[in-house]
Amino acid sequence: MDSVDTEVLRTAVSWLAAGRKPILATVVKTWGSAPRPIGAMLVIRDDGLVAGSVSGGCIEDDLIDRVRRREFASGKPEVATYGVTKEQAERFGLPCGGTLQIVLEPLSGRSGLAELFAAVERHELIARTLDLDTGKSALAPARWSDVLEFDGERLRTVHGPRWRLLIIGAGQLSRYLGQMAQALDYQVTVCDPREEYAEGWDLPGVELNRGMPDDVVLAMNMDAHTAVVAVTHDPKLDDMALLEALKSPAFYVGAIGSRANNDKRRRRLAQFDLSAEEIARLRGPVGLPIGSRTPPEIAVSILAEMTAVRRGVTLENVMAKAGAAASAAADPLACK
């Protein structure tokens, strides 16, 4: 399963190859309650067909109309801002106080999109720099910590898997978890030395490592853009990975199993060279408590929790925000 950005790039490349003249829109700045994050992309074909989103549907119609009117005939990139005034926010259906700035780039065979997409398909992390004055672009390797940069003259975007996920175990849950994680821009590695599980592994785009879990964790050189999830139910494998992962800067370390089994796991881990603070980092039972039972549901709960941790959101905050949203929906004057 591809990420949204990968699908936008694939579509843009295919349209260019077919001789069309698409426009690539990229969100470069947001203020207030903007509907889409910085870096969100939308490609619009010259006849108005679109792929991706920069506002969840709020301003796409205006952009499509501008493309159909051939407003970008000059071939040079330009900047558009939506939601500056209350009237504009109401016109485009933006949230209360939401404003976003977008770079609109007419694409051609010289835009380097084919080379960029090929690098992303190879699971490389790549940066693309666009000069708004000349319309020229350049590609260069990127780092996990790189983010979108825009100074009004140059736009530097980062493409490819910006996050890493190591899954311990190549069972059924790992298939759903790995597939869904790819759609969230994770580069996924599955570790399982067991022959009976590894022989049948065939998930496209996901590397299978047959090494021992602790060795794989160390070899991956965990950083703050890495998550580790142990799902084998075999303490000999799961605990090996957790012993090293909990000492690393990985932003998320989780293990499947009941609350009682995870309490036993914590007692086992305490017998090794782990501090109480490091053991407390373990998320187990793994995932948000959404009543999940099937492997796809469990995968959703795990990725939901990983996303919350990435965004700095706790479960208590989620419930508080949900309650506030429900109150606002019930009050027609809440956004006035």
Ordered domains of the chain (ranges, CATH)? 4-112 (no CATH), 163-310 (3.40.50.720)
Q: Can you tell me which residue has the tokens 């469990």?
A: 298
Contact 242, 218 (CB under 8 A): no
- Taking residues 288-300, report their average pLDDT: 95
Give the pLDDT score at 272. Answer: 94
d(CA 243, CA 248): 9
Give 76-114 pLDDT, tens digit per residue.
899 999 876 666 656 666 655 578 899 999 999 889 999
Report the percentage of the chain scoring pLDDT > 90. 68
What pLDDT score was predicted for residue 334? Answer: 43
**Alpha-carbon distances, residue 285 vs 103, 244, 263, 292, 314 (angstroms):** 43, 19, 9, 12, 16
Which alpha helices (H) appear in the chain, and where do they start and end? 4-17, 60-68, 86-92, 113-121, 172-182, 195-198, 213-219, 235-245, 259-269, 276-280, 295-310, 315-330
Looking at residue 331, its pLDDT comes to: 46
Question: How confident is the model at residue 198, as a pLDDT?
Answer: 83
User: Token pair for residue 185?
Assistant: 């821009």
Q: Which residue has the tokens 């939901």?
A: 304
pLDDT at 242: 97
| pLDDT score of 320 | 54
- The angle that helices 4-17 and 113-121 make with each other, rounded to 10 degrees, is 140
The angle formed by the CA atoms of residues 168, 265 and 236, to the nearest 5 degrees, is: 45
User: Per DSSP, what are the bridge partners of residue 140?
Assistant: 127
**Would you report the helix, strand and coil content of the chain in percent, each value rounded to 5?**
35, 20, 45
Per-residue pLDDT tens for 29-83? 988 766 678 999 999 999 999 999 888 677 888 899 999 998 887 788 999 998 7
Question: What is the band of 332 on the pLDDT scale with cuts at 50, 70, 90?
Answer: very low
Strand duo 226-230 + 207-209: pairing: unpaired
Q: Write the pLDDT tens digit of every residue in 131-169.
A: 999 999 999 999 878 889 999 999 999 998 889 999 999
Mean pLDDT for the stretch of residues 254-261: 94
Q: Kindly indicate the confidence band of residue 333, based on its pLDDT and cuts at 50, 70 and 90.
A: very low
Alpha carbon distance 117, 111 (integer Å): 11
Backbone torsion region of residue 263, taken as left when φ is above 0, otherwise alpha when ψ lies between -120 and 50, otherwise beta: alpha
Residue 16, pLDDT score: 96
The span from the CA of 186 to the CA of 19, in Å, is: 32
Checking phi first, is residue 312 left (phi over 0); if not, alpha (psi -120 to 50) or beta? left
